[in-house]
């Protein structure tokens, strides 16, 4: 994938409603997480969602309004599910409040360990991460041999096209 080519997600409206409803419930008191199982489409820039797994309360080792950690068992389960499907994984999680659809410093620190582990377990398949809040999303994709991620700029939901906030880091 060239540096000028920005990946995007493609998701059905029905799956988007289920996953984003899980991530951003009302009231929204804790960070929530889900995983999308994706296939590459065409030239490798569209990640087509072919399945999902919502994280349940027992899947979290820690779940707070500003941070979460999954249990090793939960992460192993979704990696195996992706492996069995021949899919790549996209982690999606929520941040509370408006203006917070940016990866936190703790998110970025966690990627240093998680991304290489998942990519190794999935035999080099790409790994994506999306953070969402009530006012938008930001996303990253690790693919190829470059350790630096590429921004995920769009989410195609049926005929609607959502554009990301500029990729950045929150002050959290």
Q: What is the set of domains in the chain, with CATH numbers?
A: 8-163 (3.40.140.10)
Whether the upstream peptide bond of residue 110 has omega within 30° of 0, thus cis, is no
Mark the ranges of the chain whose per-residue pLDDT is less than 70.
Answer: 1-5, 41-44, 165-172
User: Is the pTM higher than 0.75?
Assistant: yes
Pairing of the two strands 60-63 and 68-70: antiparallel
Collapsing DSSP to helix, strand or coil, 45 comes out as: coil
pLDDT digits (tens, 9 = 90+) for 38-66: 997 655 678 999 999 999 999 999 999 98
> Residue 88 has what DSSP assignment?
E
Looking at the DSSP bridge assignments, the partners of residue 156 are 10, 161
CA of 151: how far to CAs of 32, 70, 80, 125, 165, in Å?
21, 24, 26, 17, 10
pLDDT for res 164:
86
Cβ proximity of 96 and 65 under 8 Å: yes
Which of 137, 119, 139, 135 lies closest to 127 in space, CA to CA?
Answer: 119
pLDDT for res 119:
95
> Residue 76 has what DSSP assignment?
H
pLDDT for res 159:
92
Helix (H), strand (E) at residue 132 = strand 127-133
């Amino acid at each position: 994938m060239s540096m000028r080519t920005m990946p995007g997600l493609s998701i059905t409206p029905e799956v988007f409603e289920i996953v984003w409803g899980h991530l951003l419930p009302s009231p929204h008191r804790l960070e929530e997480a889900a995983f999308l199982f994706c296939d590459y489409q065409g030239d490798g820039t569209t990640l087509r969602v072919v399945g999902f797994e919502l994280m349940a309360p027992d899947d979290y080792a820690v779940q707070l309004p500003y941070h979460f950690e999954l249990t090793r068992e939960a992460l192993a389960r979704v990696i195996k599910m992706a492996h069995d499907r021949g899919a790549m994984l996209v982690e999606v999680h929520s941040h509370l409040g408006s203006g917070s659809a940016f990866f936190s410093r703790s998110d970025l620190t966690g990627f240093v360990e998680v991304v290489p582990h998942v990519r190794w377990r999935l035999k080099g398949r790409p790994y994506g991460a999306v953070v969402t809040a009530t006012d938008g999303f930001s996303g990253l994709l690790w693919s190829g041999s470059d350790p630096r991620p590429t921004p995920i700029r769009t989410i195609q939901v049926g005929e609607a096209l959502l554009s990301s906030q500029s990729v950045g880091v929150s002050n959290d």
